[in-house]
Amino acid sequence: MQANQTPTLVPLAFAAGGAFNTIPEASQISTNPGGASLVDGFPPLTRTPIAAGGIPPAGLDMNGILNLITQSTRWAHAGGRYGYNAAFASDTNVVGYPSGAMLMSADGLGTWLSLADNNSDNPDTGPGTKWAPSQAYGFSAVSGLTNTNVTLTPAQAMKSRIVLTGALTANVQIILPTWTREWTIVNNTTGAFSITAKTAAGTGVVIPAGPARVVGDGTNITQPAESIAAATSSSQPLTAGQIGAIGSQGNLPINTSAKVSGVNSANLLVNGSGELGLSNWSFAANFAPQNDVTGGIGGFFGNTAALSGASGSNFTGNMAVGANVPLTLSFDAASNVSAGTYSVALVAYNSSGTFIGNVAAVTIPNGASTSTRYSAGGTTPAGTAYVTSSFNVTGVTAPVNGVVWRRVKVEQGNTPSLYSQEASIATVGGGTPVVGSVRNLRMYVATASATATITADEVIACSALGGVSYKVGSLSQSINLAGANGIGGMDTGSAPTNGYVAIYEMVNPSTGAKGLMAVNATSSVAPSVYGGSNAPAGYTASGLLTVVPTNGSGQFSPVLVQDRLVSFPLKTALTSSTVQGAFTSLSISGIVPQNAKSLIGEMSLASTSSSTAGLAVAADANGVGQQNSTATVTATGYVGNYQCPLVTAQTIYWNSSNTAGTPTFSIYIAAYTI
């Protein structure tokens, strides 16, 4: 069958404006001997000669049968779908929907997939075990969350995006079905309590503020590392893995005048403040945040009354983190304790809030009255959903401010970094976007030129694949292919002629300096991180931004770069009169670089005689990603668009057909992605 063999669409059911009998399901032989039914069809009496007592088939029955059938045909031709029907599912001739059946959701915006035969469950309101969502438009809003766990209905859970709002007064669990699928859960709740997404009987994950991607494996809810998204406003906390190292390592600022709120953010203060550190603490009796009125140390925490045999704990807020994560707690502390124990611990809990164990702990020596920087590290145990920092006194006797601490910091890794006020964040660690990620990248060269300017809201550079990452914001940088080698020019030598250059964002983590650098990418794939040996001293981080063509003078050819899309004036990849029955390779190395992943372009067909001509492109000889243009053409021809992936670098495959005359087949390329 071919794409141009579309049958005639049926706009009306047969006899829609005429008379017809409704065809019953049950047999009519005993009540209407000649009447048709779904179970009998036309009964035997209608096939018996009239002379022998037979009854001719009724024309109204024939109209009714065709009307019944063509109602479904008309509905299907109009793209109609069917929702769940309890009466149909319970009909003894149906006994439920089969495995693989697909039904429209009750709101008409999604599709359910049956996971079992003889399935009579209602997919929208049932237990959610025999149906799973195939696709769903829109999002589910769950509002008014306070202190009660919420089990999502199948209709709520079928949406891939779930938005939570409310003022929390206790930890809340969102119970998801045991499906194998992904969700994006947006935590817009307020209050110093946690939201945990889990299944009824399985484990789950704590959802930080803002959007987070979670995955259901049919038993539990997990959160992959790449789901950790950037905060989108100054009031949202940064989540574990977003920040790798801060302060002294560079000067790439977060563009906000507000304080950064950190929740288990690597190398960021627990409370996100480099000053008083008041956020989300729970204090034992006689402990409170204070300020050194002499101006010597500023803000600190301590006991405001003398202690005698006192015991208690001072906790930070919950910091969401999973199992098997190396963490380090560091802080300043002083002790004038004369009896008892002053200890500090990083404590792990599961998603139900049950204590698992200490990740790290340190005891402050009694009488250590000079403020000293302490640290302790460890790895979160199995089942960890969040950790807190706990400053504990056990049977302690001490004067006012005999138990003091400040500048608390929790970070990923086994080694504490220097404490800072966190006003300038330079290095971004695990959980950031991948190297070379860009937002609103643009480079436009209207006419051939040796110079170009690249702008972007933000780009990501890395020290190596899987290494430390660096965010560069509000980028606006220029490059000159004819200028001096180094930052702002080629890394070495001259720009290639009629070739390609890769452009990298280069970052010096020590100084915060950054700029563009071009590399000859004509004969090889440009790596995601600069792989040459000609980077200027100190520029140890980089990220590939784009790969663009050059002309015969080693200049930028006219080009428009938008994120990963590179567009240029239409270029001819093929002009041929050959009818090519099987897919044949076509080199496009003169049009796209080895980094190209897909193409966008046009196909044109024409013939000296009126004929049906066809032209197709694909990613390989097997027709992967095949795109076709088929039309009845003459010398005036026909033009169609295509988008094709690439399996082999700088190579596509094509075939063609023609029924009369001498054909002309042309393939053009207008853009590629990297």
Q: What digits encode the pLDDT tens for the residues 348-379? A: 999 888 999 999 999 999 988 788 889 899 99
Task: Produce one character per residue of 239-274: b if its CB has 16 or more CB atoms within 10 Å, e if not.
Answer: bbbbbbbbbebbebebeeeebbbbbbbbbbbbbbbb
Of residues 629, 654, 653, the one with CA closest to residue 641: 629
Spatial neighbors of 477 by CB under 8 A, at least 6 apart, are 453, 454, 488, 505, 514, 515, 516
According to the model, what pLDDT value does residue 262 have?
Answer: 38
Helix or strand holding residue 208 (H, E) = none
484 by DSSP, 3-state: which? coil
pLDDT for the residue 297: 62
Residue with tokens 């194998």: 180
Mean pLDDT of 278-297: 75
Which residues are CB-neighbours of 263 under 8 A, at least 6 positions away? 208, 209, 237, 238, 239, 240, 270, 272, 317, 318, 319, 320
- What order of strands is seen across the sheet that includes strand 102-104? 102-104, 110-114, 131-136
Backbone torsion region of residue 580, taken as left when φ is above 0, otherwise alpha when ψ lies between -120 and 50, otherwise beta: beta
Strand pairing partners for 598? 645, 673
- Asked whether the predicted pLDDT for residue 325 surpasses 90, the reply is no
Answer for the pair 161, 133: CB distance below 8 angstroms, yes or no: no
Over 60: is that where the pLDDT of 253 sits? Answer: no
What share of the chain has pLDDT > 90, as a percent? 70
- Domain 565-673 fold is Jelly Rolls (2.60.120)
Is the Cβ–Cβ distance between 54 and 33 less than 8 Å?
no
Q: Residues with Cβ < 8 Å from 197, sequence gap 6 or more?
A: 173, 174, 176, 183, 185, 204, 205, 207, 214, 221
User: Which residues are paired to 131 by β-bridges?
Assistant: 114
List CB contacts of 422: < 8 A, sequence separation 6 or more.
Answer: 246, 247, 260, 262, 268, 269, 272, 273, 274
Question: Does 263 have pLDDT greater than 60?
Answer: no
> What are φ and ψ of residue 73, in 5° steps?
-60, -45
Q: Which CATH number fits domain 268-428: 3.30.2320.80, 3.40.190.10, 3.40.50.150, 2.60.120.200?
A: 2.60.120.200
Nearest-5° angle of CA 389, CA 392, CA 398?
140
Task: Write the single-letter amino acid at 647.
Answer: V
Task: Give pLDDT tens digits for 502-560.
Answer: 999 999 876 778 999 999 999 999 999 999 999 999 898 999 999 999 999 999 999 99
Confidence of residue 225 (pLDDT cuts 50, 70, 90): low
> Per the structure block, which two tokens stand in for 290?
């204070």
- Whether 649 shows a pLDDT value over 90: the answer reads yes
CA distances from 154 to 159, 204, 214, 446, 509 (A): 9, 18, 17, 53, 49
How far from 483 is each of 272, 479, 531, 535, 559, CA to CA, in Å?
44, 8, 21, 16, 20
What is the identity of the amino acid at 566?
Answer: V
Burial of 92 (0-12, 13-18, 19+ CB in 10 A): exposed
**Domain range 140-227, its CATH number among 2.20.200, 1.10.287, 2.60.40, 2.60.120:** 2.60.120
State the Cα–Cα distance between residues 278 and 408, nearest whole angstrom.
11
Cα–Cα distances in Å, from 611 out to 551, 608, 633, 635? 39, 9, 6, 10
What pLDDT score was predicted for residue 425? Answer: 31
Amino acid 278: pLDDT? 58
Nearest alpha-carbon partner for 265 in 239, 231, 237:
239
Structure tokens at 239: 């989540």
pLDDT number for residue 465: 84
Give SS3 for 555. coil
pLDDT above 60: residue 385? yes
Task: Say how far residue 596 (Cα) sits from the centre of its chain.
Answer: 22
> What is the rounded distance in angstroms from the CA atom of residue 633 to the CA atom of residue 259?
66
Please state, in angstroms and rounded to a whole number, the distance separating the CA atoms of residues 239 and 258.
17
Euclidean distance between CA atoms 560 and 539, whole angstroms: 27
Segment among 15-19, 273-277, 324-328 with least mean pLDDT: 273-277
Distance CA 281, CA 630 (A): 69
Mean pLDDT within 45-70 = 93
Q: What is the torsion angle, in degrees rounded to the nearest 10, for the CA atoms of residue 511, residue 517, residue 523 and residue 527?
A: 40
**Number of helices and strands in the chain (H, E):** 3, 40
Mean pLDDT confidence for 614-624: 95
391 has pLDDT over 50: yes
User: What tokens appear for 350 in the block?
Assistant: 């599961």
Question: What is the distance between the alpha carbons of residues 287 and 672, in angstroms, rounded to a whole number?
Answer: 63
This model's pTM is above 0.85 = no
Q: Residue 559, Cβ neighbours under 10 Å: how many? A: 20
CA distances (Å), 121 to each of 96, 113, 127, 134, in order? 8, 12, 8, 16
Pairwise CA distance, residues 240 & 260, whole Å: 14
Phi-psi sector, 455: left (phi>0), alpha (psi -120 to 50), beta:
beta
Tell me what the mean pLDDT of segment 95-116 comes to. Answer: 95
pLDDT (average), residues 167-196: 93
Query: How confident is the model at residue 251, as a pLDDT?
Result: 39
- Measure CA of the first residue to CA of the last residue in the chain; give whole Å: 36
Average pLDDT of the segment spanning 176-193: 92
Mean pLDDT of 141-165: 95
Task: Judge whether residue 329 has pLDDT over 60.
Answer: yes
Q: What distance in Å separates the CA atoms of residue 318 and residue 271, rounded to the nearest whole number?
A: 10
Q: Which two tokens stand for residue 265?
A: 């953010």
What are the pLDDT digits (tens) for 305-319?
A: 999 999 999 988 787
Two tokens, residue 262: 């950190």
Q: Do domains 140-227 and 565-673 have the same CATH topology?
A: yes
Per-domain boundaries in the chain: 9-80, 86-136, 140-227, 268-428, 438-562, 565-673
Amino acid in position 596: A
Phi–psi pair at 156, nearest 5 degrees: -70, -45
At 281, the pLDDT band (50, 70, 90 cuts) reads confident
Helices (H), 170-236: none
The conformation of residue 275, written as its DSSP 8-state character, comes to: S
pLDDT at 47 exceeding the cut of 60: yes
In terms of DSSP bridges, do strands 172-176 and 150-151 run parallel, antiparallel, or are they unpaired?
Answer: parallel
Beta carbons within 8 Å of 507's beta carbon, 6+ residues apart: 250, 252, 461, 470, 472, 513, 514, 539, 540, 541, 542
Query: What is the sign, positive or negative, of the torsion defined by CA atoms of 487, 491, 495, 498?
Result: negative
The pLDDT value recorded for residue 538 is 87
pLDDT at residue 513 in the model? 87
